[in-house]
Chain A
Amino acid sequence: MTKSGARAKCEISITVNRKLETVHVYAMERLLDVLRHELGLTGTKEGCGEGECGSCSVLIDGVLVNSCLIPVLQTKGAKIVTIEGLASSGPLEALQQSFLDCGGAQCGICTPGMILAAHHLLSKNPQPTLEEIREGLSGNLCRCTGYTQILEAVAEAARRGATT
């Protein structure tokens, strides 16, 4: 459940997926809830609400964060990327395609966060080793796949030269 620290709502401007948005929200509202409820970006998922599972992962100014732990006030003026900021219609990005090809998505609930974590990893390290992929995704839990096919998907995207 959301814990709204401040009573009064305020206006905050953030750039989400390259679009400037102004939201009227409680300052301490979780970024996760603002994305989902105010902006209708429901691709960001809640799994645990305490920063363990990584389903709510987004990028803030290029840094991978759990949006369930970030009060929206803290993102004032920031550039945020959610799963909707990757390919949405038309051809998929290499990473999304490799998740499809390799079986990296089963139930799909961890997938947006997992893809953003992988996107972040490849942006820092375009040719990671298997161990680096394991480490890079270890903040994102998946209960379906046992991870092997996710690791394969990321390695495959790197091979295909995923540009991030």
Chain B
Amino acid sequence: MKNAPIVGTSVPRMEGRDKVTGHTCYVDDLVLPGMLYGATVRSRIARGKIKKFTFDTGIDWNEFAIVGPRDIPGKNCIALMEDDQPCLADGMVNHPEEALLLLAHADRHLLPKAVEGVSVEYDALPAIFTMEESEAQSHIIWGRDNTFKSYRIEKGDVDAVWQGADHIVEGEYTTGAQEQLYIENNGMIAAFDPRQGLTVWGSLQCPYYVHKALMKLFGLSADRVRVVQMETGGAFGGKEEYPSMIAAHAALLAMKAGKPVKIIYDRMEDMAATTKRHPSRTRHRTGVSKDGKILGGEIDFTIDGGAYKTLSPVVLSRGAIHAGGPYYWPSVLIRAKAVATNAPPHGAFRGFGAPQSLFALERHMDRIAQVVGLSPVEIRRRNLLKPGQTTTTGQTVTEQIDLGKLLNRALELSDYQSKKEQFAIENQQGARKKGMGIAAFLHGAGFTGSGERFLGSVVGVEASADGRLRILVSSTEFGQGTNTVLCQIAAQALGIRYEDMSIAQPDTDQVPNSGPTVASRTVMVVGKLVQSAALGIKETLAASGMLGDSYSPDEFRSACLAYVRKHGKFRCLAQFEQPEGIVWDEETYRGSAYAAFAWAVYIAEVTVDLTTYQVTVDDFVALQEIGKVLHPVLAKGQIIGGVAQGIGFALYEKVIWEQGRMQNGQMTNYIMPTSADLPTIRVYFEELGNIHGAYGAKGIGELPMDGPAPAIVNAVEDALHVPFHAIPLLPEDIFAALSESAAPERVAGSARGNE
């Protein structure tokens, strides 16, 4: 019997009905009996020694549970990569908003005043707020040299490039911090039972990250810590690592108070204290032939990690690997470095370093085009990677991707050429200047290098007592569609109905560790494992004689029921195995960085209004090759949402820092795009397939974050003929640059001939 395909169709979102009726239960909607509310006393200074706490005598402190570092039963750290970040500062603070003390009370109305009622005296120490200060090492604030991690990616012989180059093109490009701005603030509830151990419920991406952090902090064994993900109202990386901190705080208060404790951040606390996208600086020096071929180059990529290491080495790695983009570099030297400053640690945000380094590269490609005297289209066309060529890490492009064709299609879809000609005429007069900009890029799916092998993810599929199948994964839903797509994959694998599938709430007591929900890995890596585990169920039924070769969905369900009745629990697990041919050398940073890349060409059409200096994106074409599209509506939603965040990254979202503290931690003064600010974002797919992903899928979650910013800033330059090298690009920046360029023309960068 041939079943209608499920993969490739837009089935209803698994948890969609609850979301449109308001029934979905997020952590702030959960109330436990006798629950207290928790709050955090935070550092007001960037760096210094804590001398003394003074408690306002007008408050009855006996009513409060108060927790300090001495109350931590295990090690005072948030375990992640290196245990350098304390759960509560003990004697020394290293950034503003660092947690010092915790308070809990039954009446949440009393907490803000109580937090204000704790005064802290410090011996302030000199602090560092920029990457340049950190590199100068006038003060050492972390380790021996203020450097969390550095990498060197080397291919060919760059030193030999300069001699033969017709042009050497240099440029420096910077990107700012960006807040994830999920609409649901961070929150966590914890309960402690001396016999059973610790349970936390929260808004989070990675249950087993929280689990690991709590085990170390409390000195508890794995079976005495339970982490449950509640429905999560947006994450984008922003709920990858910081939820471990909040869970730790709620858990410490719950243990001290002997009652469950809920901590919900308000917007300002969430913005000021939790992670943001790493600010970056990229320097390019590229040798190019007179016909526009890249001969080789040096790329220096530096990110600001904030005060503790957290995930900075991994963000740095992805940024460095993507720094060469979708182009062929015969020789390249990429030097990457994550440095410490006294700001709250920067962290995961969709794209994870790649939007930063790709902004630089795609701006730089336009600069190279100008120096060589080619169009932005032609400079890209002449350098795009081809099958058989190698990336900067020496990974051979094995799939039959035709990036030139992708570029052509994007040009057609955006009506690029005729618009360029039209704008060139129209821009000669009037105060509204229009421009077109291109970005070509790629994004690696799954963990970098050997990451997936080290993770060794496990997934389960089980038959429930009612004969329905349930997927068991720690991969979380936070809007992207994890629940839906994994259920589609299992249903398709078994030839049963999508409606016969369900997925367990991520709960470390119930689900195996399928790895963190990050790195565009869920559909490709976890999806493939779900497919294997589902097939395991079918094979077991067939081997037991309960299922024939051909069956209807009802017969499959009956067979599951019969098996459960006879044998009890019926569960199949599948574990990740590294595919052959994916070889990575962590020491030299050579080899296959990713099992698959998604490829894209984005084109932005903008208007710059010379009365207000506001940039408006009028049209946006997002064309990508993402393997097979498993769910058209969800896939399109991922792309549009990522492009919108990319437009915010380019044109709207600016974190104002003062002494390491965010000054505009409100939605009133940190501006993200509204429905009135964005164009209709046009999404197109090419589908080559991918042997490593479930039904040919690659990862797509992060890809759309990489391209919008450079495409838009390239379009702004096209409109104004003034180059911009930094984002966010706000009206005041354009005003300042135009005022300056009214003076004699500056040389754009330091391009020079080499004859």
B643 touches A109 (CB 8 A): no
Minimum CB–CB distance from B439 to chain A (whole Å) comes to 17
Instruction: Say whether chain A's binding surface is mostly helix, strand, loop, or mixed.
Output: loop
How distant is A71 from chain B, measured CB to nearest CB, in Å? 14
Q: Are B23 and A107 in contact (CB under 8 A)?
A: no
Given contacts A108-B479, A142-B183, whether A50 and B111 have CB atoms under 8 Å apart is: no
Most buried by B among A1, A2, A99: A1
A79 within 8 A of B: no
Bound Cα distance A102, B185 (Å): 26
Give the interface segment out of B118-126, B157-165, B230-238, B452-460. B230-238
List residues of B (329-376) whose CB comes within 8 Å of A's CBs: none
Q: In the docked arrangement, what's the CA distance between A7 and B159, Å?
A: 75
The closest CB in chain B to the CB of A111 belongs to B19
User: Is there contact, CB below 8 Å, between B20 and A146?
Assistant: no
A39-71, CB < 8 A from B: 41-50, 52-53, 55
Contact B20 A96 (CB under 8 A): yes
A110, B26: Cα distance in complex, Å: 12
B residues less than 8 Å from A105 (CB atoms): 13, 16, 19-20
A49 contacts B19, C-beta separation under 8 Å: no
Contact indicator per residue, chain A 105-128, by CB within 8 Å of chain B (1) or not (0): 111111110010000000000000
**Whole-angstrom distance between the alpha carbons of A143 and B480 in the complex?**
12
Contact B234 A87 (CB under 8 A): no
Find out whether the CB atom of A148 lies under 8 angstroms from the CB atom of B681: yes
Q: Are B20 and A109 in contact (CB under 8 A)?
A: no
The chain A residue with its CB closest to the CB of B480 is A106
Contact: A92 with B20, CB < 8 Å? yes
Complex interface bits, B206-244 against A, C-beta within 8 A gives 1, otherwise 0 = 000000000000000000000000011111100000000
B60 to chain A, nearest CB (A): 16
- B174-187: CB near A (< 8 Å → 1, else 0) gives 00000011111100
Contact of B182 among A4, A49, A101, A143 (CB under 8 A): A143
Whether B409 is near chain A, meaning CB under 8 Å from some CB there, is no
Which partner residue on chain B sits nearest A86 by CB separation?
Answer: B21
Least CB distance, A155 to chain B, in whole angstroms: 11
Chain B residue with Cβ nearest A115: B20
Q: How far is the CB of B41 from chain A (nearest CB, A)?
A: 14
Contacting pair B184 A47 (CB below 8 A): yes
Contacts of B675 in A (CB 8 A): 133-134, 137-138, 140, 142, 147, 150-151
Question: Do residues A107 and B667 form an inter-chain contact, with CB atoms below 8 A?
Answer: no
Partner of B28, one of A46, A100, A111, A151: A46
Residues of the A chain whose Cβ atoms lie less than 8 Å from the Cβ of B680: 130, 148, 151
A151 to chain B, nearest CB (A): 7
- Give the residue of A1, A82, A106, A143 whose beta carbon is less than 8 angstroms from that of B108: A1
Taking a contact as CB atoms closer than 8 A, the residue among B15, B183, B266, B480 that contacts A109 in the complex is: B183
User: Which residues of the other chain, A, contact B479 by a CB distance below 8 angstroms?
Assistant: 106-108, 144
Q: Which residue of B lies closest to A47 (CB)?
A: B183
Tell me whether B74 is interfacial, beta carbon within 8 Å.
no
CA distance A7 to B16 in the complex (A): 41
State in angstroms the CA–CA spacing of A50 and B233 once bound together. 18
- Provide the B1-39 mask, 1 if CB < 8 A to any CB of A, else 0: 000000000101101111111111110110000000000
A82:B22 contact, CB within 8 angstroms: yes
The chain B residues found within 8 Å of chain A, CB to CB, are 10, 12-13, 15-26, 28-29, 108-109, 111-112, 180-185, 231-236, 266-267, 478-481, 633-634, 636-637, 640-645, 666-668, 672, 674-676, 678, 680-681
Binding site for B on A (CB under 8 A): 1-2, 4, 36, 41-50, 52-53, 55, 82-84, 86-89, 92, 96-97, 99-103, 105-112, 115, 130, 133-135, 137-151
Can you give 11 contacting A-B residue pairs, CB < 8 Å? A43-B22, A47-B185, A88-B22, A92-B21, A101-B12, A107-B234, A146-B641, A146-B642, A147-B640, A147-B674, A148-B681
